[in-house]
């Protein structure tokens, strides 16, 4: 990767968003001694050995709702989120601190009938943050991010 970046010859900003605990080795592998190369890492906890943390707040309800609407949006004229306004509010409240989860949930609910939305809200009210489908999707993402092939 270092050779590839040297060949590019342009300033590079690498952004690693929402890095999870146990992923420090990925950051270590991507720390390269190159001029004009910066890395920005967002995470929910501090890695002291990677520099001074800059604390950021979770998404506001307004921003979380906007993000959710973006990922659940339907083709023009078919947006059913207005019909589900009360359900949208409950879902956003349940997942507001997790943009990646809002994306997955929004896409999974896109085009679904109200009963599916209600099931998701019911799961949240029971403390079931993730259902099996969401866990499978998150696991797939983590499997991809954890492979050595991506870093080569």
For residue 151, is it within any domain?
A: no
Please give the average per-residue pLDDT across 10-29, as a whole number: 80
Residues 81, 133 share a domain: yes
Tell whether 66 and 52 lie within a shared domain: no
CA gap 102, 105 in Å, rounded: 5
Q: 65 with 132, same domain?
A: yes
In degrees and rounded to multiples of 5, residue 135 shows phi and psi of -60, -40
Q: Confirm whether 148 is domain-assigned.
A: no
List, for residues 90-137, the tens digit of each pLDDT value: 989 888 767 888 888 888 888 888 898 898 898 888 876 666 666 666
Q: Establish if 144 belongs to a structural domain.
A: no
102 within 8 A of 92, measured Cβ to Cβ: yes
When mean pLDDT is compared across 25-39, 55-69, 129-143, the lowest value belongs to 129-143
- Smallest Cα–Cα separation from 39: which of 81, 5, 4, 68? 5
Q: Structural domain of residue 116, as residue ranges?
A: 61-139
Q: What value does the mean pLDDT of the chain take?
A: 76
Q: How many domains does the chain have?
A: 2
Q: What is the pLDDT of residue 147?
A: 47
- Is 65 part of any domain? yes
| Mean pLDDT (whole number) for 64-84 | 72
Work out the percent of the chain whose per-residue pLDDT is above 70.
Answer: 70
Contact criterion met (CB below 8 Å) for 109 and 117: yes
What integer pLDDT is reported at residue 77 of this predicted model? 45
Query: Per-residue pLDDT tens for 52-66?
Result: 777 777 788 999 998
pLDDT at 97: 67
d(CA 57, CA 99): 12
Same domain, 82 and 119: yes
Alpha carbons 146 and 22: distance in angstroms, whole number: 10
CB 61 within 8 A of CB 96: yes
80 within domain boundaries: yes
Residues 67 and 114 in one domain: yes
CB 2 within 8 A of CB 32: yes
């Amino acid at each position: 990767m270092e050779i590839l970046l040297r060949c590019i010859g342009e300033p590079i900003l690498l952004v690693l968003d929402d890095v999870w605990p146990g992923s420090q080795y990925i950051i270590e592998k991507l720390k390269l001694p190159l001029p004009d190369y910066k890395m920005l890492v967002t995470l929910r906890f501090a890695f002291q050995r990677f520099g001074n943390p800059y604390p950021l707040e979770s998404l506001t309800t307004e921003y979380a709702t906007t993000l959710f609407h973006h990922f659940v949006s339907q083709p023009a004229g078919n947006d059913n989120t207005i019909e589900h306004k009360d359900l949208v509010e409950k879902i956003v409240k349940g997942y507001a601190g997790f943009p990646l989860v809002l994306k997955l949930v929004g896409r999974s609910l896109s085009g679904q009938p109200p009963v599916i939305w209600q099931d998701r809200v019911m799961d949240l009210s029971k403390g079931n943050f993730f259902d099996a489908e969401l866990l499978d999707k998150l696991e797939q993402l983590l499997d991809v991010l954890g492979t050595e092939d991506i870093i080569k």
